[in-house]
Amino acid sequence: MPEDLRVCALYPELMNIYADRGNLLVLERRCAWRGIGFRLTSSGLGEPLDGDAHDLFYLGGGQDRDQLLCAEDLLRHKRNGLHAAAARGALVLGVCGGYQLLGSSYALGEEELPGVGLVDVRTVRHPGPRLIGNVAIEVTLDPGRPARVLAGFENHGGRTRLGPGEQPLGRVLRGHGNDGRSGLEGVRRGNVIGTYLHGPLLPKNIWLADWLIATALGLSVDALAPLDDALEQQAHMGARSAAGV
């Protein structure tokens, strides 16, 4: 039996818009159903972060004013730990506001919030309409395996651009994605992943949840025991059809 999955939720109270806590619940349940131990720790404002103590770091979505508080705290208390974790191949998953903060900066009017800099992406708060709606993207996580669809919901005022050499998580099939124009969604650099997809993301896309669990434990996804996923498949198909794919 694999060892425990150790997950660290960053700012679970502040960065939890759209019930992104559901993402953590899915990880917990899918481990429990397989007899894999699950240890959840949180790290909030002012708290240190031990980059060696966790296999997966999760940063959810948030409103601009909460992101402001977190951006400063991330730099002061968590940046080094997160960089050390990413360097040894730990998974770091950021959703929406969390995705924005993993990048280099988030510009809000006159103000520019510095990001953690795990990936070279820059976000600018656009004065125009928010990018809202159901979204579907095509993703290939492992070369050689077929592309899969991630389906979810997006609602962001920020427009995100990838720096040169940075790869998106996926290509937009329906919806807006990073900036409503590039056709790109999210970012992926090794095991650091950022995406605008809420939903919450993992209850609607359990194949991604399993990939995260396996990868964080250093396993192939085929090594995970199969589960009865009839309901989860329905949720996925519902999210796809809402997005029109």
Binding interface with ligand GLN (CB under 6 A): 17, 61-64, 67, 96-97, 155-158
Do residues 96 and 130 make contact, with C-beta atoms less than 8 angstroms apart? no
Residue number with CB closer to ligand GLN (17 or 19): 17
- CB nearer to ligand GLN: pick between 156 and 176: 156
Give the three-state DSSP class for 159: strand
Length of the chain: 245
In whole angstroms, how close is the CB of 157 to ligand GLN at the nearest point? 4
Q: What is the C-alpha separation between 34 and 220, in angstroms, rounded?
A: 15
Two tokens, residue 28: 């917990």
Q: Which residues fall within 8 angstroms of residue 203, CB to CB, at 6 or more apart?
A: 22, 23, 25, 26, 232, 235
Nearest distance in Å: CB 39, ligand GLN = 26
Cα–Cα distance, 115 to 122 (Å, whole number)? 9
Catalytic site includes residue 198: yes
Nearer to ligand GLN, 41 or 155 (CB): 155
Rounded to a whole number of angstroms, the minimum distance from the CB of residue 3 to ligand GLN is 32
For this structure, is 96 an active site residue? yes
From 54, 70, 96, 236, active-site residue: 96
Q: What is the smallest separation between the CB atom of 127 and ligand GLN, expressed in angstroms?
A: 12
Instruction: Give the pair of three-digit tokens for residue 137.
Output: 């993207």
- Give the separation between CA 204 and CA 215, rounded to whole angstroms: 19
Nearest CB to ligand GLN, comparing residues 96 and 239: 96
Please identify the residue of the shown chain whose CB is closest to the bound ligand GLN. 61
Residue positions annotated with a catalytic role: 96, 198
